[in-house]
A and B are shown apart, each in its own frame.
Chain A
Amino acid sequence: MLRLDFEIKRFAAELAFALFLLLIGVAAVTGALQMNVGWRDDGPGAGFFPLLVGLILCAACIVQIVITFKARRALQAPIFNGQAFQNLSGIVVPTALCAAAIPLVGIYVPAAFLLAYFVHRRTERAPLEIAAIAVAVPVALYVLFDLTLEIKLPSGWIF
């Protein structure tokens, strides 16, 4: 299996995330500016509050970036590495694929695949046992949600 060998230090992670949040702040400001940000006789327009929030968010992010730079020496410990990335992408990628498949095949089939995939990856169970679990759980979910609670979950073109 491919081994990824890298490390991200806390400083870099803090900085990148603060920049990302700053971008969200900028997006909020631009979104707000499309609305009426001025004050009319009946108080502030629809854009006033979002603009204020966006500006405070931007300011707070800039302060956070400055704090991060000042505390640079104390933030050298690694926070994320190749192993964690592999573990994490091993969850996120299959989950995203399943979510993308829901409009086509509903939620039950991807759920079965997701379960089988995880159990196969993380334990050493026999294929038959894995298949049994992968079928049993979605059936239980179907009984619980569809039949008992009458919440019709997306089932795609399967049923």
Chain B
Amino acid sequence: MDFFIDQLGLLSDGFSVALSLQNMLFLLFGVGIGILVGVLPGLGAANGVAILLPLTFGLEPVTAMIMLTATYWGALLGGSITSILFNIPGEPAALPTTFDGHPMALQGKASEAMALAFSSSAVGAMIGTLLLTFAASWIADFGLRFGAPEYFAIYLLAFASFIGMGGPDPIKTLISIMVGLGLSTIGLDTVSGDVRMTFGLLDLVKGISFMLVVIGMIGIGELLITMESNLELRGVAARMDPRVVLRTIISLPRYWVALIRSAAVGCWMGVLPGSGATIASMMSYGFARRFSANREAFGKGAREGVVSPEAADHAAATSAMLPTLTLGIPGSGTAAVLLGGLLMWGLQPGPMLFVSQPDFVWGLVGSMYLGNLTAVVVVLLSAPLFAAILRIPFAYIGPVILVICMIGAFAITMSLFDIYMTLIFGLLGYLFKKLDYPIAPLVLALILGDQAEESFRQSMILSGGGIGIFWESTLSKVLMTCAALALLGPALIKNRALITSHLRNRG
């Protein structure tokens, strides 16, 4: 009981930080920008945050983080608008929302579909944030016991679970991680002080910022994919009828089973590094269909088909902040970009952050409650306005996004070289997307690469060069075993299923 009272005390301090006028204004601004980048296909949360990041260097870290996380929440909601009205996911995680949200819109129930999506998002986000509030201190305390070998083991676990569970193609995921790790080694080596992997290019001495890679590979790459196909957006007209919205929100408790199940899936996927919101919403949609009494209605405008992915998506996005803040292991691609931002402000995420910067941590947590609720209210009021933006031909929006991406790249270190690098990464991102190489593992590896290498080398210094140190403490033994299981488990289960079905067919 004392534990809960302590947490509530910390949270109320957090609210008092988040509720300052300045922070609330930036929160509102972040939500607005977020909805905008979410609505536009090709610009997503990770990207929006990466472009905004250099623009926030003048702000207090807590204000900047409140704004950037608000952008994240707004982007997820904006993505659903595009999914429902235009049948194109504005955000990757909003893909399953197209399955039933768009049919609802075609049946003249666009208001209802959007109200349903937004309100279930709010429920998912609240559950994810509650998990963060009550589990964070506990995990951070646990993290205080970590030394260099444990940290290396947990980075290994993050990479291993990306390969094991991240998608249909583990080899492509492995390649993506290795390219990211390779990029992270470019520049000054912090341990020996040597300059390495620059191939004689002076501009590479400062290293390659993850923001360049995010803006290029995710932003410009996605834009190239969109513009290659001469995309014409055709959508359903949106009008938000307040009575329908109210009725939908009141009817929400009817879906409590779907909501709780989806939030649980979302939290699990969010906390697990390597999965994130997209897998959570796909999985949750699959579960909803499997457990539904009227399975035939799915794909034709089933309400549960909108509720489930949306709740899971937001639960995953908010709970992804739990490992990000407590252990420094981002639970999703956008969380990885946020983590990169924290490092740039000199705030090392991890257990010590909770000790040294409680105002920052709890201000941020408090803002997650306020930000998600504000975002839902704003999006309910402004969805038709943002939908109207999509009626502007892409010929206008595309080049503006391109120029903003270039400005975003330049603003990081005011270097022209970075603009060219971003364009090269844009082409690389296009090829990655075209050939189904996942980009999120590359970003994660690039951000964590330095720390993974450092913890590895520190462990080696501790052990005098013996690799056995990773199996010395119980904690690192457990983590190393988890990493091995995460890497090989899914493949073993799949093979076992294959073998059993093979035997059954023969027998």
Contacts and interface: CB of A to CB of B under 8 A. Distances in A.
Contact of B189 (A13, A46, A92): A46
Q: Which of B196, B411, B416, B456 has the most CB of A within 10 A?
A: B196
Interface string B214-239: 00000000011001111000000000
A102 B416 contact: yes
Interface string A33-45: 0111001011111
B505 interface: no
Query: Which are the 10 A-B pairs with shortest beta-carbon distances?
Result: A43-B460, A122-B395, A57-B178, A46-B189, A50-B185, A46-B194, A31-B197, A46-B192, A111-B403, A118-B399
B400 A31 contact: no
B453 A60 contact: no
Nearest to B190: A46
A119 to B, nearest CB: 5
Interface string B445-462: 000000001001111110
Contacts of B457: 43-44, 49
B228 A42 contact: no
Interface in B171-220: 171-172, 174-175, 178-179, 181-182, 185, 189, 191-192, 194, 196-197, 199
B379 to A, nearest CB: 23
Contacts of A80: 434
B288 interface: no
Contacts of B464: 41
Interface in B402-422: 402-404, 406-407, 410-411, 414, 416, 419-420
12 contacts: A17-B437, A28-B197, A31-B199, A47-B196, A50-B182, A91-B228, A114-B399, A115-B396, A133-B396, A145-B411, A151-B407, A153-B411
Interface of A: 10, 13-14, 17, 21, 24-25, 27-28, 31-32, 34-36, 39, 41-47, 49-50, 53-54, 56-57, 60-61, 63-64, 67, 79-80, 84, 87-88, 91-92, 95-96, 99, 102-103, 107, 111, 114-115, 117-119, 121-123, 133, 137, 141, 145, 149-154
A91 B394 CA distance: 13
Contacts of B55: 149, 151
Given A14-B435, A56-B174, A91-B227, A137 B400 contact: yes
Contacts of A53: 178, 181-182, 185
Contacts of A25: 178, 182
A21 B228 contact: no
Nearest to B423: A99
A88 B224 contact: yes
Contact of A99 (B196, B406, B411, B434): B406
B168 interface: no
Contacts of B437: 17
Contacts of B419: 99, 102
B271 to A, nearest CB: 27
Contacts of B242: none
B182 A114 contact: no
A49 B331 CA distance: 24
Contact of A95 (B192, B423, B459): B423
Contacts of A45: 192
A24 B182 contact: yes
A75 B387 CA distance: 38
A143 B56 CA distance: 17
A92 B427 contact: yes
Given A99-B419, A115-B400, A141-B403, A56 B196 contact: no
A67 B171 contact: yes
A42 B227 contact: no
Given A49-B185, A107-B410, A92 B395 contact: no
A33 B504 CA distance: 52
A84 B189 contact: no
B252 interface: no
Given A60-B171, A111-B399, 6 more contacts: A31-B197, A45-B192, A46-B192, A49-B457, A95-B402, A114-B399
B191 A46 contact: yes
A26 to B, nearest CB: 11
A112 B395 CA distance: 13
A25 B182 CA distance: 9
A13 B434 contact: yes
Contacts of B460: 39, 42-44
Contacts of B403: 107, 111, 114-115, 137, 141
Contacts of B147: none
Residue of B185, B194, B230, B398 with most partner-chain A CB within 10 A: B185
Contact of B416 (A57, A61, A103, A141): A103
B253 interface: no
A54 B196 CA distance: 14
Contacts of B435: 10, 13-14, 17, 79
B108 interface: no
B461 A42 contact: yes
A128 B120 CA distance: 47
B465 interface: yes
A39 B465 contact: yes
Interface in B141-192: 171-172, 174-175, 178-179, 181-182, 185, 189, 191-192
A93 B469 CA distance: 53
A16 to B, nearest CB: 9
Contact of A123 (B189, B395, B420): B395
A18 to B, nearest CB: 8
Most chain A CB atoms below 10 A, which of B230, B395, B404, B416: B395
A43 B465 contact: yes
Contacts of A103: 416
Contact of A21 (B179, B410, B427, B453): B179
B475 interface: no
